[in-house]
Amino acid sequence: MNVHILAATRRRDCVRARPQRASKADPQTDAAIHDAIARAVMDGSLRAGTKLAEHRLAAIFGVSRERIRKVLHRLGAERRIDIIPNRGARVPQPTVDEVRQIYEAHRVLEAGVLLALADALDDAFLARLDAHLAEEHAAAARGDRSASVKLSGGFHLLLVDAIGNPELSRILRDLLSRSSVMVSVYEPANQSICAVDEHGAIVEALRARDVGRAIDLSGHHFLHVEQRLRLDYAADAATDLEAVFRPRLAGKPARATASKRGDRR
Amino acid sequence: MNVHILAATRRRDCVRARPQRASKADPQTDAAIHDAIARAVMDGSLRAGTKLAEHRLAAIFGVSRERIRKVLHRLGAERRIDIIPNRGARVPQPTVDEVRQIYEAHRVLEAGVLLALADALDDAFLARLDAHLAEEHAAAARGDRSASVKLSGGFHLLLVDAIGNPELSRILRDLLSRSSVMVSVYEPANQSICAVDEHGAIVEALRARDVGRAIDLSGHHFLHVEQRLRLDYAADAATDLEAVFRPRLAGKPARATASKRGDRR
DNA sequence: CGCCGCCAAAATGTGCACATTCATGCCAGT
DNA sequence: ACTGGCATGAATGTGCACATTTTGGCGGCG
């Protein structure tokens, strides 16, 4: 376990930390640190399960430990990292089931959004959707996975933003940002997270003012993602076996093999 | 302004603080303090705009200031109180528009919930809804407003919990708890926040497996609430005028009269 | 007479040092 | 040789003291 933690930590140091920038006397505002860590967690630069030690981060960012502490606790309150009392913070290691719940939640709520969207539909908005689809296509065409993931999320944000309710936008934005974490864990690298065509079909349904179909399509869209997650999980179970038994060798024996990730919170 | 704050603060002291309990050597766990403040904010014991001074709360709860500080920042992250850097924490003073947004969000999202609920509908669940309606009726009959508000929120929680997605439940629970704050500010005391009959109509639609009607009813239900809020606002505008000009007398001139509450965040 | 700028008090923010808790490795006992 | 308890060390949690910012009041100046 020692080895595992050290390896992961060292990886973090070189992937995200940019210590030289941090050690410049730049005061590094709270928000900047918050965003840096949140982004690193979300885009997968930090491996799931990585420990986020306070003094180490403090050294990396060149600020006091209390500062990091505050940020870490805030991230914990936002459910972006896991904090265990007296045991510190870790990059969350979502269960397949948790991931599924996030996607299901998104699916359920987006149905409501689409229903409400019926009133806000106008040509200008449809044109914006078309433009977005074009961008998605372009990114997919040149194989830019990072852009694809981002744009793919942006599509759903575009939908909810059209309602013009900041509160609503914030809720779905949170949901989306949390599901982004999981993409990096469970999604195979060669698949785009949302099929562009499925987005296109939703737009067509909206253009035809057929909200019912749009909802159906959106639902199936999310179900596809969920389903693919489960398949992927089964596919690389062999690889995962190693992760299953690693904790048992070093730490206290895990409570049960089957619940290896289920008893975190 | 001084007078206003002092009055509000004094009121807080006697309404919620229970200083004698706090000064008992009871260590008062973080969660307990968090809940105490959150509840006080939510149920209206604390007047909107009341300042939550750290050292004062520390004295009241009999803990160190840092403890309060942590809790306050957490409450701020949860959007349950407003925190302005270097200016401390205050009980939020929601704009009518913000309240409307919360209700609109709830309305939009609950439509999705009802759609998803179609799959989870069984007789046991309908029976539970009936039982809940009976409770609501009972509370309304004996004029127990506090119980009514609580049960009324519980109805919507019952709906979302039926889907069995904890993540979804958490999101709507948050939304509901935030709208509870506003009830105390804008709702007249003699009206129940959710008409029991409207809840009953939704249940009937569900029983008939007519999800479309249930969504319609739910939508109108929330629209009623929103509408009533606006009427109430217009009704006591005279009282509010005083609040409009008070900040200008004491503090820096407000940026604009119309945005008196809109520029808080 | 009114306005601008300064001063002091109070409240928040921050860093430091100490207390507490948890994990790991060692040693003794069976 | 293995299990159990114990000690040590590292990491987190907490309180205290100081720095910074804001606010309300006051005096001088235009």
Instruction: Kindly report, residue by residue over A37-46, the tens digit of the pLDDT.
Output: 998 888 778 8
pLDDT reported for residue A29: 82
Cα(first)–Cα(last) distance of chain B, in Å? 20
Residue B215: its chain A contacts at CB < 8 A?
Answer: 115
Question: What pLDDT, on a 0 to 100 scale, did the predictor assign at position A181?
Answer: 67
**CA/C1' separation A11–D6 (Å):** 35
Lookup result for tokens 């930590």: A9
Domain residues of chain B, as ranges? 2-93, 96-235
The pLDDT assigned to B196 comes to 84
User: What per-residue confidence (pLDDT) applies to A229?
Assistant: 72
* Protein residue nearest nucleotide D20, by CA to C1': B86
**For residue B65, which nucleotide's C1' is closest to its Cα?**
D15
As ranges, strand C nucleotides with an atom below 7 A of a protein CB are: 11-16, 21-25
| Alpha-carbon distance A2 to nearest alpha carbon in chain B (angstroms) | 31
- Residue A168 to residue B70, Cβ atoms within 8 A: no
* B165: nearest CB among A105, A115, A215: A105
The chain-wide mean pLDDT, for chain B, equals: 77
* pLDDT at site A28: 64
The CATH label, of 3.60.15.10, 1.20.120.530, 3.40.50.300, 1.10.150.120, for the domain at A96-235 is 1.20.120.530
The pLDDT tens digits for A59-87 are 999 999 999 999 999 999 999 999 999 99
Rounded alpha-carbon distances, angstroms, from residue A9 to A30, B239, B254 = 22, 59, 49
For nucleotide D12, give the residue with the nearest CA to its C1'. Answer: A86
Chain D bases under 7 Å from protein CB? 11-16, 21-25
pLDDT surpasses 60 at A245: no
Please say whether the beta carbons of A109 and A115 come within 8 A: no
Whether B115 sits inside 8 A of A112 (CB atoms) is: yes
**Nearest CA to B187 among B220, B223, B226?**
B226
Give residue B52's pLDDT: 94
Q: How far is B94 from chain A (nearest CA, A)?
A: 13
Q: pLDDT class for A251, splitting at 50, 70, 90? A: very low
A 34-93, residues with C-beta < 7 Å of strand D: 51-55, 65-66, 69, 83, 85-89
Tell which wins on pLDDT, B66 or B7. B66
Distance in Å, alpha carbon of B78 to nearest chain A alpha carbon? 8
Residues of B in contact with A167 (CB under 8 A): 98, 101-102, 104-105
Predicted local confidence at residue A23, as pLDDT: 34
B101 to A165: CB separation less than 8 angstroms, yes or no? yes
Residue B259, number of CB atoms within 10 A of its CB: 11
Stretch B102-120: mean pLDDT, rounded?
A: 94
- Residue A90: its H or E element: strand A88-90
The phi, psi pair for B88, rounded to 5°, reads 85, -170
- Kindly provide the b/e burial profile for residues A5-39, where b requires at least 16 CB atoms within 10 angstroms of the residue's own CB: eeebbeebeeebbeeeebeeeeebeeeebbebbbe
- Quick one: pLDDT band at residue B229, thresholds 50, 70, 90? confident
Q: Please judge whether B111 and A116 are an interchain contact, meaning their C-beta atoms are less than 8 angstroms apart.
A: yes
Cβ distance of A109 and B74 shorter than 8 Å: no
| Gap from B76 CA to D11 C1', Å | 27
How far apart CA A98 and CA A48 sit, in angstroms, is 14
Residues 83-142 of B with CB within 7 A of strand D: 86-87
Decide: CB of B85 under 7 A of nucleic strand C.
yes
Q: Which of B115, B79, B177 is nearest to A112 (CA)?
A: B115
From the number of C-beta atoms within 10 Å of its C-beta (0-12, 13-18, 19+), residue A139 rates as buried
Q: How is the beta sheet containing B51-52 ordered, strand by strand?
A: B51-52, B88-90, B82-84
Q: How far is B164 from chain A (nearest CA, A)?
A: 9
Question: Which amino acid is located at A46 in the chain?
Answer: L
Q: Which residue's entry shows tokens 């319609």?
A: B216
> Helix, strand, coil proportions of chain A in percent (round to 5)?
70, 5, 25
Q: Does strand D come within 7 Å of the CB of B250?
A: yes
- Assigned fold of A2-93: Arc Repressor Mutant, subunit A (1.10.10)
Task: Say whether A96-235 and A2-93 share the same fold.
Answer: no
Beta carbon of A142 within 7 Å of strand C? no
Contacts of A111 in chain B (CB under 8 A): 111-112, 115-116
For B105, which of A77, A78, A168 is closest by C-beta distance? A168
Mean pLDDT of B32-39: 92
Distance A17 CA to C26 C1' (A): 37
**Å separating the CA of residue A24 from the C1' of nucleotide D12:** 27
- Cβ of A228 near strand D (distance < 7 A): no
Q: Considering only CB atoms, which chain B residues are within 8 Å of A70?
A: 73
Supply φ then ψ for residue A185, to 5 degrees: -85, -45
Rounded Cα distance, B22 and A224, in Å: 53
Considering CB atoms only, which of A102, A105, A163 is closest to B108?
Answer: A163
CB B168 within 8 A of CB B91: no
pLDDT digits (tens, 9 = 90+) for B180-215: 766 666 665 555 556 788 999 999 999 999 999 999
- Nearest protein residue to nucleotide C13 (CA to C1' distance) is B86
pLDDT attached to residue A246: 38
Q: Work out the number of other CB atoms within 10 angstroms of the CB of residue A109.
A: 26
Closest CA to A88 of A57, A45, A43, A47: A57
Q: pLDDT digits over B56-86, tens only?
A: 999 999 999 999 999 999 999 999 999 999 9
Contacts of A122 (CB under 8 A, 6+ apart): none
- In Å, how far is A151's CA from the nearest CA of chain B? 23
Q: In B, which residues are within 8 Å of A165 by CB distance?
A: 101, 104-105, 108
